[in-house]
Amino acid sequence: MTAARHAVSDGVAVLAGVRVMVCPDDGPLIDAESRATDLIGDAFGLDVAAVAVPAIRLPPAFFQLRTGLAGAITQKFANYGFLLAVVGDVSRWTAASGALADFVREADRGRVVWFVADMERLAERLLARPPTR
């Protein structure tokens, strides 16, 4: 299964039977809780269980845990019951911060936020462990 096989229609892809809102690479940075709230509102309107956000849409502050931005954004998704999938390479950030590497590792064990390399890996994860929504 390749990412190219995951057709996106009106911002929604169905991966492993799960409706996922797929955010484009070229949208605004998700640099505040209000941006996360906007995404969640869109997700409700699209009747999805998960939101896939390209890692490039997250500002450096998201990957610097001391800022609290990652916690605030992931908490918003948890409160509303959506899985947040950060899609893309975050190794530059995890290599620079042991705390972030730990956060990513722990997050990947849960059901609130996952860090995946690409849409194919997201589909594999969803197949093995679909969200509860």
Task: Please report whether residue 92 resides in a domain.
Answer: yes
Task: List strand residue ranges (DSSP E) for 1-67, in order.
Answer: 12-15, 18-22, 50-54
pLDDT (tens, 9 = 90+) of the chain, 133 residues, equals 444 455 666 699 999 999 999 999 999 999 999 999 999 999 999 999 999 999 999 999 999 999 999 999 999 999 999 999 999 999 999 999 999 999 999 999 999 999 999 999 999 999 998 887 7
Q: Which CATH number characterizes residue 102's domain?
A: 3.30.750
Predicted pLDDT of residue 104: 97
Predicted pLDDT of residue 90: 98
Strands across the sheet containing 113-116: 12-15, 18-22, 50-54, 83-87, 113-116
Note the pLDDT tens digit of each residue in 69-82.
999 999 999 999 99
Look at the chain and report how many structural domains it folds into. Answer: 1
The answer to whether the beta carbons of residues 113 and 87 sit under 8 Å apart is: no
Domain range for residue 76?
Answer: 3-128
Task: Please report whether residue 45 resides in a domain.
Answer: yes
CA distance 14 to 18: 5
Task: Please report whether residue 27 resides in a domain.
Answer: yes
Task: Please report whether residue 133 resides in a domain.
Answer: no
